Amino acid sequence: MDFLTFMSVFLLLISTSCYGLSENHHGDEEGGLLVVAPAKQQKEFDYFLLALLWPGTLCQGTNHCCSANACCRSNATSMFTIHGLWVNYNDGTWPACCNNGSNFDIKKITPLLGGLQIYWPSLSCNLESTCDGGKGLFWAHEWEKHGTCATPVIWDEYTYFLTTLNIYFKYNITKILIEEGYIPSNSEKYPLGGIVSAIQNAVRATPLLVCSDGAVQELRLCFCKNFEPQDCPNNVTPEEACPRYVSLPEYVPRKV
């Protein structure tokens, strides 16, 4: 069965209410704002966060090329790619590495690899840390650190990656922005409020944007446990905050 056939699978939904979030709640581990709950205290999560990367910004810092680094591909991609599907608590903490026995097994997601390589690529040559203290693929890091904590909504590795891809396609942020005139450009600056409003109107929830030197680097969408969109908490650090006008740099393949 090919990848497009798998993409026709409906999102796995459960009947769960949506929890509210206050403005000072944090949902991002990358910014150093969250504290990992100790393993013995890890409880069921409160909401999902889909983190998307903008390669045009992130790849500007590439200083080493390898076959695994999508920043070095000759076929330019001007679209958001997946960082990961994370699970967070409403109190600003997040669970991680919830089942050390569920080590990543690439064989379990073989039917999805074609799509993962395009829409969920690694933008680095570095191996990522895994829950057993070793190093592994970008996908291994995301599954072991975040996916294993997504129960009872998501129980296994295959479902984690398939569900993430389905959400990514259902809420096609790149398409939403292009249709509203926000085109990748190395010269244009766009109003941040306009970008946020375009996504709010399409998704019916408020996203969160992270910037680097005035360029959009990451975009986050938040979801209830039944994958209904919900507003994301505004918890970026001052260093990550976006200015009033931002850029969406075009992707330029690196040659280093």
For the chain, counts of helices (H) and of strands (E): 7, 11
Catalytic member of 146, 157, 218, 240 = 146
Instruction: Give residue 240's identity as a one-letter amino acid code.
Output: E
The answer to whether 141 is a known catalytic residue is: no
Catalytic member of 25, 26, 83, 141 = 83
Catalytic member of 142, 157, 218, 240 = 142
- Residue 54's contacts (CB-CB under 8 Å, 6 or more residues apart) are 80, 215, 216, 217, 218, 219, 248, 249
* CA–CA dist 42, 97 (Å, integer): 10
User: Strands, DSSP E only, in the chain?
Assistant: 35-36, 47-53, 81-88, 93-94, 128-129, 135-136, 190-191, 208-212, 215-223, 229-230, 245-246
The answer to whether 64 is a known catalytic residue is: no
The answer to whether 142 is a known catalytic residue is: yes
- Residue 159's contacts (CB-CB under 8 Å, 6 or more residues apart) are 12
* 229, HSE (Cβ side, Cα atoms, 13 Å): 17
Lookup result for tokens 């999902």: 48
Contact 105, 157 (CB under 8 A): yes
* CA–CA dist 161, 8 (Å, integer): 14
Q: Which residues are catalytic?
A: 83, 142, 146
